[in-house]
Amino acid sequence: MAEEIDYGFGSLMDNPEGFYPPTPPHHEEIFTMQSGKHITLRLVGSSVTEAHIVWNGSKMVADFFEDDPARVRGRTVLELGAAAGLPSLVAAILGARKVVMTDYPDPEIVTVMQKNIDTCDETVEPRGSISGTVDAMGFVWGADAVPLLARLRPGLASEAPASAPTSDSVTSQDATPTERFDVLVLADLLFRHSEHGAMVKTIRETLRKTRDSVAYVFFTSYRPWKKALDERFFDLAREQGFEVEQVSERRLDKPLFDNDPGDLDVQKTVRGFAVRWPTEACFCRPHTRYPTHLPTTSLTLKPSPASRAKRRAMVMDPPAQKPASPYLRQLDLDGFVVIKSIIDRDKLEQLRAASSKATSLARGGGWPHVRTVGKQFPPWTASEGREHGIWGVQHLMNPALPGHQIFTELYFSEAILGIAKQLLQCGDDHLVMELFNLLVRPDRDFELMWHRDDIPAEAMPYEEIERLRKPAYHAQYNFALWEDDSLVVVPGSHRRARTDFERNAHPFEKMLPGQLVVKLEPGDIVFYNNNILHRGVYSATKERLTLHGSVGHTKGSSLRARNVLQHGVGNWVEKCTFAKLKNGERQRAEEMRRRLVQLGSESGQVGYTHQG
């Protein structure tokens, strides 16, 4: 073997120390949700795939989800090109059932994504909810989608590595709707013009084939002179059979990058589009966008075998089968469901006029049946109302109240009872008349404590679960005549005992983990489980006229009548007149009243579930 010749150059060809600049260190950014929650995002120091930036598109997707959490709550979510994974984390916080966060399979990027999952998990109760919901994995756009779909198959994803095909028979080409994702997120990816085809291919192979499934594509044309090339993505999506609709546009105060050339207005504008399957391509056509899967809890956890027995006592089991109604699916999943614009404009104006008159009458002392400021639970008295002001008007169907007829017509209308029948899974012959009241603007700011209507605050966890396991044979609702954001809930809390944080929190705690403000437009109605953890926050400066009612079911215990009769309904219910109702509605109303009276006669002593 020839000896190596030393030509005497020494280290002449070596790069001097400091010749290459050091790799920038990891850095962090804080994103603040509209709810006030902070999310810490770790990012790589530099990346040829641009994963070292929290792009405006991802921030806008996060806000878009928070504007309407039903877009992701209870659904499965896949994010492509996630980088820090902000939309994925927000989706999980808002109650997504499963989230898969992906980016280029660079170990450093995947490690950073997992770090963000773990950091977020430490700030959300119960601990383990985020890490149990969100997976981080590497994925190349256009590659075999089977490893992604495997994350939706319990037991399969945990056994097969993310980079390898699974032995399961599922393929990305013929996966059924339930083996694909409900929601895809593509935030600020369109500047990769050469990858448009690969992105569309991944959408085709991972998006569930139903009309309520959607790929959200948000982007800014950071190079305005290439805006047309960015938009070519949507032409390609249409060519591949998808429907495309713009759903959002926001102009920011400044561009993401200072001193970049081109039109500043274009650089500051973030646009969002929804990419969907056409009807003819879908396996089925759901009636609404509401989720079609019921999780075992509102947040997915990964309990160890040793903890399962304890956890089984703390969290309710899932229903034996999926209910048929999408409204009921949403109610069972979250504990509330919002239905938009259930009456026409003329009827809304009539109800506003009648409600305003009833409120004025009550404030002036001409109607004694009120809810008084400073007191959360009954009994309320007219004298307290005169002294402290009111936040509600009781007994809207009482014949002694001027304008009672329009309230009676609404209560027994198909607009209300049609939804109630879906939620109660019954027909007219099982409906029971219950409460109908009015919630109004108080004379001073007033808040209710966190509570469940039928479960006292001192109940132990096992007592909560025992009560929550019992069917709720009534449908309770708020119907807004003006904008209303007074109801605050903790989604999913109707299916579990309170967490330690919730149990030990101040009764008027401003921010419980996962809480949500239910926002209603005029004409919207929210039905909610009265044992969801909830409270009311009422402003003296914002007009409020919200009808608050409930409808019962004959299978309900006779004790349910006590929750109705405690409000004094029994004093006038027999005098209620239904003469002006339509024939079918009149007969239904008379039967509903008869059933209430019958239940009342069986209930025995009438008391209060809460004392004020």
Q: Is residue 607 situated within a structural domain?
A: no
Predicted local distance difference test score (pLDDT) of residue 559 = 62
Closest CA to 98 of 321, 300, 319: 300
State mean pLDDT over 309-320. Answer: 42
**Helix residue spans in 71-127 (DSSP H):** 86-93, 107-121
Predicted local distance difference test score (pLDDT) of residue 565 = 57
Which residues constitute the domain of residue 358?
Answer: 326-602
Closest CA to 343 of 292, 290, 414: 414
pLDDT grade, residue 542 (50/70/90)?
Answer: very high
Contact 203, 279 (CB under 8 A): no
Better-predicted residue by pLDDT, 126 or 115: 115
Tokens 């984390």: give the residue: 89
346 and 449 fall within a common domain:
yes
Q: How far apart are CA 561 and CA 552, in angstroms?
A: 9
Q: How far is CA 170 from CA 150, 159, 374, in A?
A: 8, 15, 59
pLDDT single digits (tens) 572-598: 888 888 989 988 899 999 999 998 888
pLDDT grade, residue 8 (50/70/90)?
Answer: low
State mean pLDDT over 426-435. Answer: 93
Q: Is residue 41 situated within a structural domain?
A: no
Mean pLDDT of the chain: 82
**In degrees, to the nearest 5, what angle opens at C-alpha 279 toward C-alphas 277 and 282?**
65
CATH code for the domain in which residue 484 is found: 2.60.120.620
135 and 191 fall within a common domain:
yes
DSSP-derived pairing of the beta strands 534-538 and 446-447 = antiparallel
pLDDT grade, residue 568 (50/70/90)?
Answer: low
Which H/E stretch holds residue 349?
Answer: helix 345-363
Which H/E stretch holds residue 309?
Answer: helix 308-314
pLDDT single digits (tens) 377-399: 666 777 776 778 889 999 999 99
Q: How far apart are CA 419 and CA 528, in angstroms?
A: 12
Q: Is residue 37 situated within a structural domain?
A: no
**Stretch among 46-55, 141-150, 179-188, 550-559 having the lowest mean pLDDT:** 46-55
**Stretch among 61-65, 294-298, 424-428, 472-476 having the lowest mean pLDDT:** 294-298
504 and 576 fall within a common domain:
yes
Contact 172, 207 (CB under 8 A): no
274 and 419 fall within a common domain:
no
Closest CA to 552 of 426, 413, 467: 426
From 281, 306, 341, the end of a domain falls on 281
Q: Is residue 311 situated within a structural domain?
A: no
Residue 391: how many CB atoms within 10 A of its CB?
Answer: 28
Residues 6+ apart with CB under 8 A from 248: 60, 64, 218, 270, 271, 272
Residues 6+ apart with CB under 8 A from 3: none
The yes-or-no verdict on residue 120 having pLDDT over 80 is: yes
Q: Is residue 104 situated within a structural domain?
A: yes
The yes-or-no verdict on residue 306 having pLDDT over 70 is: no
The yes-or-no verdict on residue 322 having pLDDT over 70 is: no
Q: How far apart are CA 185 and CA 203, in angstroms?
A: 10
387 and 531 fall within a common domain:
yes
Q: How far apart are CA 303 and CA 367, in angstroms?
A: 55
DSSP-derived pairing of the beta strands 214-219 and 183-187 = parallel
Predicted local distance difference test score (pLDDT) of residue 374 = 78
pLDDT grade, residue 603 (50/70/90)?
Answer: low
Our count of domains for the chain comes to 2
pLDDT grade, residue 324 (50/70/90)?
Answer: low
CATH code for the domain in which residue 147 is found: 3.40.50.150
255 and 339 fall within a common domain:
no
Percentage of residues in the chain having pLDDT higher than 70: 78
